[in-house]
């Protein structure tokens, strides 16, 4: 087994990192059944834990495939756009298998970079147990271009000691969050009632979805923005209310994304935050350790759960691979149930198989609110290459920040965001 771990640390501009890949589809190669299989995976701060699982999967695969070696390279997430663009243009330098984010899917497929694996998944015994809503994050125009390797959703973290001291309970509806957060900040002025951010789009979108709004809708073959619908504006208004001086002051919070929002909670400076299952390890190593709990982010009515964004990464087969069968078989090993279980134990990555999720949830009560959120149904961004442009232009963060800082009202900010999105959809 020969594993090479290459870290590409050159910094690139955000637009370059997020922009849609603009290269033609690679010419498909043959289907050799021996030789070296090349794999790209994303690097991690704690790579050792991930690498141990990957090494075990590689050893198993090589053991069952005489004459085959697997070469794994770790690449930086920040440089992924340039790396994949070059790979799509030159199959000789490309991997056979790669990990990629589900929000990059549409752009990569439009560039012709990944192979349709619909038939592979349909013929895979374990494939039937993949969660349908999670599997949908790997689809473009009804075809599958990857296998969901892990999924991440967000819920409401809260400080149990603070809540007990003040005699309050977790909010039962989205509408209860703001008054509860105000009450906490009034009682504890040095603490944010809830830590949120003007750049925290995936924390804000559940408010839009729970109020019946959405980001966009299909109009024939195209998308049209709906961020300025009455329902969406109700969600934006509800979220931006949290960015108030008496909850989470705009001067401190408007520039924050998800990481900074969770960091305030970790530092003991916030009574609540919207965090993911993937934030658990860092919170357990923080000032909030042993003093917090998690509940699903509630919906607009008591007992309901707000739809969450289904984040996560996929494993896919490059369209230019010369080892198509081997590549698909390796994906099914590394993304299969056995190694998803091991990756959960090593990294805390939430599995994408319904039965494996149930197994880990039964042994770990912490996962219950996240599993409930997944079972309630998740949502996703528009599956179009234009989303990368919209994301790079910070259209939705700008909407949130304009309202939070008082520069614009919700109607004006939402209209401007819709106009910018529609321009991107039409480009």
Same domain (yes/no): 272, 324? no
Run of H or E including 166: helix 160-166
Contact 20, 385 (CB under 8 A): yes
Same domain (yes/no): 237, 322? no
Run of H or E including 304: none
Three-class SS state of 315: strand
Asked, for residue 14, whether it belongs to a domain, the answer is no
Per the structure block, which two tokens stand in for 266? Answer: 């970790």
For the chain, the domain total comes to 2
Same domain (yes/no): 282, 397? yes
Q: Please provide residue 291's backbone torsions phi and psi, each rounded to the nearest 5 degrees.
A: -130, 30
Q: Which residue's entry shows tokens 């013929």?
A: 123
Same domain (yes/no): 206, 220? yes
Per-residue tens of pLDDT for the chain, all 427 residues? 433 333 333 333 333 333 444 444 434 457 999 999 999 999 987 789 999 999 999 999 999 999 999 999 999 998 998 999 999 999 889 999 999 999 999 999 999 999 999 999 999 999 999 999 899 999 999 999 999 999 999 999 999 999 999 999 999 999 999 999 999 999 999 999 999 999 999 999 999 999 999 999 999 989 999 999 999 999 999 999 999 999 999 999 999 999 999 999 999 999 999 999 989 989 999 999 999 999 999 999 999 999 999 999 999 999 999 999 999 999 999 999 999 999 999 988 999 999 999 999 999 999 999 999 998 989 999 999 999 899 999 999 999 999 999 999 999 999 999 999 999 999 9
Which CATH number do you get for residue 405? 3.40.190.10
Run of H or E including 99: strand 97-101
Same domain (yes/no): 166, 287? yes
Distance, in Å, from the CA atom of 263 to the CA atom of 324, rounded to the nearest integer, reads 43
Contact 238, 297 (CB under 8 A): no
Same domain (yes/no): 295, 357? no
**Quick one: which of 160, 194, 26 has its CA closest to 98?**
26
In 277-411, DSSP assigns E strands to 292-295, 308-309, 311-317, 378-379
Distance, in Å, from the CA atom of 269 to the CA atom of 152, rounded to the nearest integer, reads 24
> 209: domain range?
154-307+385-426
Contact 93, 86 (CB under 8 A): yes
Same domain (yes/no): 129, 165? no
Distance, in Å, from the CA atom of 271 to the CA atom of 189, rounded to the nearest integer, reads 11
Distance, in Å, from the CA atom of 113 to the CA atom of 41, rounded to the nearest integer, reads 16
State pTM to two decimals.
0.86
CA distances for 423 relative to 15, 110, 393, angstroms: 17, 18, 12
Same domain (yes/no): 201, 297? yes
Residues 6+ apart with CB under 8 A from 208: 214, 215, 227, 231, 232, 235, 236, 239
């Amino acid at each position: 087994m020969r594993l090479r771990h290459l870290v590409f640390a050159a910094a690139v501009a955000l637009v370059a990192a997020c922009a849609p890949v603009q290269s033609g589809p690679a010419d498909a190669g043959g289907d050799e059944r021996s030789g070296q299989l090349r794999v790209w995976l994303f690097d991690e701060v704690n790579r050792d834990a991930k690498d141990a699982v990957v090494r075990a999967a590689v050893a198993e695969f090589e053991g069952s495939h005489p004459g085959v070696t697997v070469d794994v390279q770790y690449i930086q997430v920040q440089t992924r756009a340039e790396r994949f663009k070059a790979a799509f243009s030159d199959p000789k330098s490309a991997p056979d298998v790669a990990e990629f984010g589900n929000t990059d899917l549409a752009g990569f497929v439009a560039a012709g970079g990944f192979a349709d694996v619909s038939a592979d998944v349909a013929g895979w015994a374990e494939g039937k147990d993949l969660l349908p809503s999670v599997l949908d994050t790997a689809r473009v125009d009804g075809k599958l271009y990857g296998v969901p390797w892990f999924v991440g959703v967000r819920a409401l973290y809260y400080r149990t000691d603070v809540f007990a001291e003040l005699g309050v309970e977790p909010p039962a509806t989205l509408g209860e969050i703001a008054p509860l957060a105000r009450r906490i900040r009034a009682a504890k002025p040095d603490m944010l009632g809830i830590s949120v951010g003007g750049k925290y789009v995936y924390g804000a979108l559940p408010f839009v979805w729970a109020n019946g709004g959405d980001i966009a809708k299909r109009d024939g073959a195209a998308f049209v923005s709906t961020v300025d619908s009455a329902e969406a504006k109700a969600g934006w208004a509800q979220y931006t209310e949290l960015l108030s001086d008496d909850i989470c002051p705009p001067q401190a919070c408007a520039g924050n994304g998800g990481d900074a929002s969770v960091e305030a909670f970790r530092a003991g400076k916030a009574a609540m935050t919207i965090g993911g299952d993937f934030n658990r390890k860092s919170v357990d190593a923080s000032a909030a350790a042993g003093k917090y709990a998690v509940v699903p982010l509630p919906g607009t009515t008591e007992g309901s759960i707000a739809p969450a964004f289904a984040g996560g990464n996929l494993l896919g087969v490059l369209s230019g691979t010369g080892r198509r069968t081997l590549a698909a078989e390796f994906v099914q090993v590394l993304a299969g149930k056995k190694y998803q279980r091991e990756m959960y134990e090593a990294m805390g990555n939430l599995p994408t198989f319904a039965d494996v999720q149930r197994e880990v949830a039964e042994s770990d009560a912490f996962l219950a609110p996240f599993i409930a959120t997944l079972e309630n149904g998740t949502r996703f961004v528009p599956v179009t290459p234009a989303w990368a442009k919209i994301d790079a232009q910070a259209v939705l963060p700008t909407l949130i920040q304009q309202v939070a800082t008082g520069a614009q009202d919700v109607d004006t900010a939402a209209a401007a965001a819709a106009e910018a999105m529609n321009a991107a959809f039409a480009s």
